[in-house]
């Protein structure tokens, strides 16, 4: 068993209102700050691999502290299991009495996957492989929670919706941070000239992966003309949709957006979307009870950016992390 150093109790600081310092009340700064300046120290996890039905592999990190509860964390687009936001939430959850399983989507975490396909916002079959592995773990976890960031948040909510009332009774909560509930809307926002810095970064990373896959599968994938791609519509039309069985980008977005499925979720779930998130469209802030359903709550602080919610408190936790642990403790 791994030993963790005692941490401040994040629940004690949790609140419903997020009030960052005045100089952090900017969505772009909030989105960039953690990547540039945040460092989270956590003990070395136990590495694990789970096989998929199509003969691929998913790589995972276990943070075990002997707890009876487990949280499964899903990262965002072109992220991985050891990004600061993943480690930050893992640290808070460990202090709150949860073990943590953080997993990498296909092609993420520094390991290219074996199949031509990679990952996408609706790849719930891969999350299901991870969940089934966790449910069968010899530790015999009595309670599980699923949490996801950005694309991983959409994936988490979509998975819970697809499972509906058939969800394993040990899975009791869902959490989503900066969730692009409406993929078409978010793609349109990120296509704006003012979001070019984000779009260029994503395309640069995705371009390297597509080049790798083109060399491995030249009969199916080509990167000729990739440098002319400027938007997710163009990328998803050319790569995501055909590699994963969708007609085109529009069909992919329609099928894989969690927005229209939120009312199928059968366990208490919380979505934290900052109003100043530079990645999200208006549709990503659903307030209609008929859309949210009985189990989903949307909390939308004025500030927080995209996967930000930065705090400068000495305990090192971000507001979203304290809020998450508090939410998971509400029905304990």
Q: Which one, of 134, 118, 174, lies nearest residue 296 by Cα?
A: 174
- Tokens 């793609």 correspond to 187
Phi, psi of 204 (to 5 degrees): -60, -45
| Cα–Cα distance for residue pair 17/27, rounded to 1 Å | 17
> Is residue 80 annotated as a catalytic residue, yes or no?
no
Phi, psi of 99 (to 5 degrees): -80, 165
Q: What is the dihedral of CA 108, 40, 321, 59, to 10 degrees?
A: 20
Angle (CA) 50-70-18 rounded to 5° is 120
> Is residue 120 annotated as a catalytic residue, yes or no?
no
The answer to whether 70 and 99 are in contact (CB under 8 A) is yes
- Strand positions, DSSP E, 24-131: 46-51, 57-63, 69-74, 99-103
The angle, 0 to 180 degrees and rounded to 10, between the axes of the packed helices 249-256 and 183-190 is: 130
Q: Which of 257, 306, 311, 320 is catalytic?
A: 306
Q: Which one, of 130, 36, 117, 116, lies nearest residue 81 by Cα?
A: 130
Q: Which of 150, 257, 269, 281 is catalytic?
A: 150
| Cα–Cα distance for residue pair 154/138, rounded to 1 Å | 29
The answer to whether 247 and 151 are in contact (CB under 8 A) is no
> Is residue 173 annotated as a catalytic residue, yes or no?
no
The answer to whether 98 and 144 are in contact (CB under 8 A) is no
Q: What SS3 state is found at 177?
A: strand
Q: What SS3 state is found at 111?
A: coil
Q: Which of 126, 182, 276, 277 is catalytic?
A: 277
Among all residues, which ones are annotated catalytic?
A: 150, 277, 306
């Amino acid at each position: 068993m791994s030993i963790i150093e005692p941490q401040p109790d994040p629940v004690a600081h949790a609140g419903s209102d997020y009030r960052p310092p005045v100089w952090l009340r900017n969505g772009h700064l909030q989105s960039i700050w953690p990547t540039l300046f945040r460092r989270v120290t956590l003990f070395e996890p136990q590495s694990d691999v789970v096989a998929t039905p199509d003969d691929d592999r998913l790589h995972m990190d276990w943070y075990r502290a002997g707890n009876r509860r487990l949280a499964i964390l899903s990262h965002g687009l072109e992220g991985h299991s050891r990004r600061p936001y993943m480690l930050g939430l893992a640290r808070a959850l460990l202090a709150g009495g949860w073990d943590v399983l953080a997993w990498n989507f296909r092609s993420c975490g520094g390991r290219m996957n074996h199949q031509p396909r990679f990952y996408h916002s609706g790849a719930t079959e891969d999350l299901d492989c991870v969940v089934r592995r966790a449910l069968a773990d010899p530790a015999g976890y009595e309670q599980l929670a699923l949490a996801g960031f950005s694309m991983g948040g959409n994936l988490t909510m979509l998975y819970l919706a697809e499972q509906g009332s058939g969800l394993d009774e040990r899975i009791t909560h869902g959490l989503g941070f900066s969730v692009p509930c409406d993929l078409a809307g978010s793609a349109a926002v990120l296509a704006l000239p003012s979001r070019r810095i984000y779009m260029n970064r994503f395309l640069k990373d995705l371009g390297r992966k597509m080049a790798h896959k083109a060399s491995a599968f030249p009969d199916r994938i080509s990167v000729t003309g990739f440098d002319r791609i400027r938007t997710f519509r163009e990328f998803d039309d050319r790569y995501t949709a055909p590699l994963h069985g969708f007609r085109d980008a529009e069909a992919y977005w329609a099928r894989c957006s969690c927005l229209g499925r939120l009312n199928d979720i059968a366990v208490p779930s919380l979505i934290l979307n900052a109003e100043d998130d530079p990645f999200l469209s208006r549709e990503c802030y659903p307030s209609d009870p008929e859309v949210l359903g009985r189990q989903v709550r949307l909390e939308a602080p004025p500030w927080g950016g995209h996967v930000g919610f930065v705090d400068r408190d000495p305990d090192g936790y971000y507001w979203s992390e304290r809020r998450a642990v508090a939410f998971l403790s509400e029905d304990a």
